[in-house]
Every structure is written in C-alpha cells, then in structure tokens.
Chain A
Amino acid sequence: MAAASHLRLKTYTLISLLVVFGPFGDLLMGKGMRGIGVPTSISLVETAHYVSLVLASGLVWWGTLCMIGFFICYISVLSWADYSYVQPATALTYGVVALLGKYILGEKISLLHWMGILVVCVGVGFISYTSPATAERPFSPPPLGEGPLR
C-alpha cells in the first residue's frame, strides 16, 4: 500500500513538473527568439552575429533549461511508469499553455477551448484512476559494467 502511494506520488510529481517545464520552455524560447528576429542574410559574419545574439539571450537560456528539465522528467518517469499512462497525461500541457497565453501573453481563450481543456482534464482523471505501472518487466536488465548493452 505504501509502495503504491509512493509510486503514485513520484509519478504525479514528475508529470506535474514536465507539464510545467514544457510550456514554459516553449514560451521562453518563443519570446527570446521573437525578440532576436530572423537573420537578414546567411553570410558567415551575419550568422556568427546571429548565433552570438541567441547565446546572449537570457530568455533562450532559461527556455533551454526548461526543455532539458522537461526531457529529464519525461524519460525518468518512463523508466518506471507505463507509456500509455504518461503520454495522455502530458496533454495537461494544453491547459498550462492556455493559462500562460491568457495571463502572461494576454491572449483571448474561447469557451470551446476551455471546454476542450476540461475534457482533457477529465480524460487524464480517468487515466490517473488506473495504476501508473502495470507492465511486468519483460526486458532484460543491463549489465553493470561498461560495454554495449543490446
């Protein structure tokens, strides 16, 4: 019982983190790149200047960190939880994107859009009713030493 609730807790924690990291990463990268604009030519000097602008952008760096956080959370949670559990749960990012769009970018969100988010949340609620990890491990464990695995 304690193991099952521990499994749920760590799965929910990582899914919560990844549904926040993903949209924040998109938002920060998008804002950063839009602020920089597109390169005016593809000459070496211009490209070098453009790359230096991208690397100097704090928003792009924060966005990249969020994307790395998203990726780490995603592959970590998949190391124990079912794919058919985690994948639909990531659809909660649509809700976070809508909230960011409304409260940070000042976008208008239609009633149908909110209804869609509600339906997604109900769907994820149904999925969360099931156990996060049902697969009996059918794959052989890796050797501990160095060398090719499979």
Chain B
Amino acid sequence: MTTEIALLVFIVVGGTFGEMCVTRAMKIIGEVRDFTPRGLLRTGRRAFRIWWMWLGFVLMALSYFSLLGMLAREDVSFVIPVTSLGYVVGAVGGKWFLGEDVSYHRWVGVALVCFGVYLIYAGKS
C-alpha cells in the first residue's frame, strides 16, 4: 500500500511539478514567436541551458515510470481518474509556484475537468 501511495504521489505531484518546471523555463526564455525550424531549434537550445527544463524532464520521466509501475499494480479505471488530481495540483502550483492568478472561474473549470475525467473512465469500466 505504501508503494502505491508513493507511486501516486510521484505521478500526480512529480509529473505536474515537472511540467511546471518546464513552464518556468519557457517563461524565462520568453514568448516563442519564430516557428520556423531554425527558430524552434534556437529556442530548444536556449531552453536546455536552463536547469528548470532538465529538472522538469527528469520529474516527468519519473512520473511516467511511476505510472507504468502503478498500472502494473492497479486497474487503469482506478489509476487514470486519480491522476486527474494533477489538474488541482496544477492550479495550486500555478498560483504559488508560477505566480498565476487562479480565479474563481478557473477553479470551477478545474473541478469540472476533474469530474469529467472521472466520468469518462467510469464510462469505460
């Protein structure tokens, strides 16, 4: 049971925090305006010189492997709805870690998305 809880924490918190680290790296770089292959390569080169980007990728990889480990232990109909808690963690992290203004409408939206994901997987199982 302890392993399952640790895996879930890695999936939900680790994965979401990894994406927030990537977001932070992209915010440091600034708005992407050049979508030509050369411009995208230049953006990629700059992004990977920021340690938030590397930290984000490591956390996202750990989250992915934790997901695989969790799916080997529990039913997908249990795992995926639980991972939708990542939307709540994302809203909290967006506010506290990235300094975003998470308004009432956004919270309602996040709650509805979580409930919708639960219904989708309830409808599958």
CA distance A119 to B19 in the complex (A): 24
Interface residues as binary, B92-112 with A (CB distance below 8 Å gives 1, 0 otherwise): 011100111111011011111
Smallest Cβ-Cβ distance to A131: which chain B residue: B101
Q: Of the candidates A76, A83, A129, which one forms a contact with B19 in the assembled complex, judged by CB atoms under 8 Å apart? A: A83
Smallest Cβ-Cβ distance to B92: which chain A residue: A84
Contact yes or no, A115 B119, CB < 8 A: yes
CA distance A136 to B100 in the complex (A): 8
CA distance A76 to B47 in the complex (A): 11
Contact yes or no, B113 A83, CB < 8 A: no
| A123 interface contact, C-beta 8 A | yes
Q: By DSSP majority rule, is chain B's interface helix, strand, loop, or mixed?
A: helix
Contact-residue bracket for chain A: 35 or more
Contact yes or no, A123 B52, CB < 8 A: no
Interface residues as binary, A126-150 with B (CB distance below 8 Å gives 1, 0 otherwise): 1111110011111111100001111
Contact yes or no, B110 A113, CB < 8 A: no
Smallest Cβ-Cβ distance to B30: which chain A residue: A141
Instruction: Give the distance to chain A from B27, nearest Cβ to Cβ, in Å.
Output: 5
Cβ–Cβ < 8 Å partners of B105 in chain A: 126-127, 129-130
Contact yes or no, B51 A79, CB < 8 A: no
Cβ–Cβ < 8 Å partners of A129 in chain B: 105, 109
Cβ–Cβ < 8 Å partners of A130 in chain B: 103, 105-106, 109
B 1-45 contacts with A by CB, 8 A: 16, 19-20, 22-24, 26-32, 35, 40, 43
The 5 closest A-B pairs by CB, nearest first: A123-B112, A84-B94, A116-B119, A112-B123, A113-B123
